[in-house]
């Protein structure tokens, strides 16, 4: 179930235009993507999943959980899929969904030898109260020095089209993130 | 004469007996060859170096791997104490001294030297420093941090060519000269500074 305001066809056309505005990195962030009464419940369900440490120090450090089918259906409902279709302009097929949890000292790094294939990242951000100066921003880089930085934001849908050579990393979470978590569901389409 | 070892380095490090012991310590060190030499420079040399470095321009640098402030290479400085220090590091007496401690030969024409400043939340994640020509990575600490402040230089164990865990933590203490062999196994990091105390150092690489 998506916030009703995002179901308007006219608004979806505007979102498509906004998405395409940045030719190098088509992207959009939609806040309050889920209704205000539903978002905290979804966040609580995600936070209660069983997370396993995934650490390869030269590449990343975070905890990861599989997205159960029932929760996947709530996050990627038919309304959400329609919205994604409208934004990206093609039929969205959810691939490789997972839930990532970052806390103090976690991060991901760029890796010259494993640049991901072009694709579309769909991120549902459920981060609560992470201070701006705590790190944890999602940064997309294109290898020429140009970058786009996406700060944590609760109940936000982020859609990013990665073209050839574009990678992302999650900034190291510093000690001001102590006690907080950077939580989001991520998949590609 | 200005590059004479005894006019720069504390006398306790200069006897041949001490050099032989340090050479043995270096080669046997784990997780890879390194040395930490406290109270390294004579105070009359250290103080002007620190004062000069604090007048240099530091630029904030941030990437996926690090967040810190750095000067440009000291080769471009106009400040005499830093020029003299750089010149000393490239001098025949000093490079011969380093050869006696490490058994490596060093180029007298190539050195990387810059000032680094780590402040609250700054860090440098795990990496090995490997780049063509680099033989020894070194640091002269110019400020003090305490245990628990962060900012430590952590040397990492490795297995099958990948870093595993922290083997040694080196707490920055002013006038400590620390250095290690650069190799495919010289994994290290600068732990995040978690206090408002600055971690100031001059560092770089000697080339072979």
What's the pLDDT tens digit per position in A11-25? 999 999 999 998 889
Q: Which CATH number characterizes residue A36's domain?
A: 2.60.120.620
The list of chain B residues with pLDDT below 50 reads: 1-2
Average pLDDT, chain A: 92
Domain extent at residue A28:
4-188
Q: Could you read off the pLDDT of B62-90 as tens digits, one per residue?
A: 999 999 999 999 999 999 999 999 999 99
Parse chain B into domains and list their residue ranges.
Answer: 5-207
Question: What is the percentage of chain A residues whose pLDDT exceeds 70?
Answer: 100
How many domains, in total, are found in chain A?
1
Sign of CA dihedral A171, A176, A179, A183: negative
CATH class of B5-207: mainly beta
Q: Could you read off the pLDDT of A47-59 as tens digits, one per residue?
A: 999 999 999 999 9
Predicted pLDDT of residue B3: 59
10-residue mean pLDDT profile of chain A (189 residues): values are: 93 94 92 96 95 94 94 93 93 88 96 84 94 94 84 94 92 96 85
With contacts defined as CB-CB under 8 Å, which chain A residues touch B192? Answer: 105, 172, 174-175
Q: Pick from B126, B192, B194: which is nearest to A57 by CB?
A: B126
Tokens 């240099």 appear where? B56
Predicted pLDDT of residue A135: 96
Among B187, B5, B185, B183, residue whose Cα is nearest residue B101: B5
**Which residue of B119, B121, B131 is the best one to mutate when testing the A interface, meaning the one whose CB has the most A CBs within 10 A?**
B121
Question: What is the percentage of chain B residues whose pLDDT exceeds 70?
Answer: 99
Q: Pick from B123, B126, B150: which is nearest to A58 by CB?
A: B126
Q: Using beta carbons and an 8 Å cutoff, which residues of B are at the interface with A?
A: 64-65, 67, 121, 123, 125-127, 150, 156, 162-163, 192, 194
**Which residue of A56, A57, A167 is the best one to mutate when testing the B interface, meaning the one whose CB has the most B CBs within 10 A?**
A57
Contact B121 A135 (CB under 8 A): yes
């Amino acid at each position: 179930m998506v916030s009703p305001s995002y179901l308007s066809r006219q608004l979806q056309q505007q979102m498509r235009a906004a998405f395409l505005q940045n030719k190098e990195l088509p992207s959009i962030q939609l806040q309050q993507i889920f209704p205000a009464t539903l978002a905290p419940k979804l966040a609580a369900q995600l936070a209660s999943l069983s997370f396993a440490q995934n650490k390869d120090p030269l590449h990343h450090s975070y905890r990861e959980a599989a997205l159960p089918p029932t929760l996947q259906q709530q996050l990627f409902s038919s309304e959400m899929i329609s919205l994604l279709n409208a934004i990206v302009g093609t039929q969205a097929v959810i691939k490789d969904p997972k839930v990532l949890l970052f806390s103090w000292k976690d991060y991901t790094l760029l890796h010259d030898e494993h640049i991901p294939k072009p694709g579309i990242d769909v991120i549902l951000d459920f981060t609560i109260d992470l201070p701006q100066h705590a790190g944890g921003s999602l940064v997309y880089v294109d290898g020429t020095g140009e970058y786009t930085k996406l700060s944590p934001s609760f109940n936000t849908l982020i859609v990013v089209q990665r073209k050839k050579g574009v990678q992302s990393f999650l900034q190291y979470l510093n000690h001001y993130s102590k006690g907080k978590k950077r939580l989001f569901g991520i998949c590609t389409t | 004469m200005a590059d004479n070892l005894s006019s720069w380095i504390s006398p306790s490090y200069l006897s041949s007996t001490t050099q032989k012991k340090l050479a043995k310590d270096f080669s046997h060190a784990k997780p890879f060859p390194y040395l930490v030499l406290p109270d390294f420079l004579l105070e009359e040399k250290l103080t002007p170096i620190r004062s000069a470095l604090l007048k240099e321009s530091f630029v904030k640098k941030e990437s996926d791997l690090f967040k810190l402030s750095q000067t440009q290479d000291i080769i471009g400085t106009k400040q005499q104490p830093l020029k003299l220090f750089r010149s000393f590091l490239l001098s025949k007496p000093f490079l011969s001294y380093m050869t006696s401690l490490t058994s490596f030969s060093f180029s007298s024409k190539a050195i990387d030297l810059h000032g680094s400043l780590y402040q609250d939340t700054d860090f440098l994640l795990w990496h090995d420093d490997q780049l063509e020509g680099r033989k020894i990575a070194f640091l002269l600490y110019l400020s003090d941090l305490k245990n628990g402040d962060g900012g430590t230089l952590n040397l990492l164990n490795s297995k099958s060519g990948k870093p595993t865990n922290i083997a040694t933590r080196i707490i920055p203490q002013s006038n400590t000269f620390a250095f290690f062999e650069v190799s495919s196994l010289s994994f290290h990091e600068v732990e995040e500074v978690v206090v408002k105390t600055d971690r100031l150092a001059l560092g770089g690489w000697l080339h072979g």
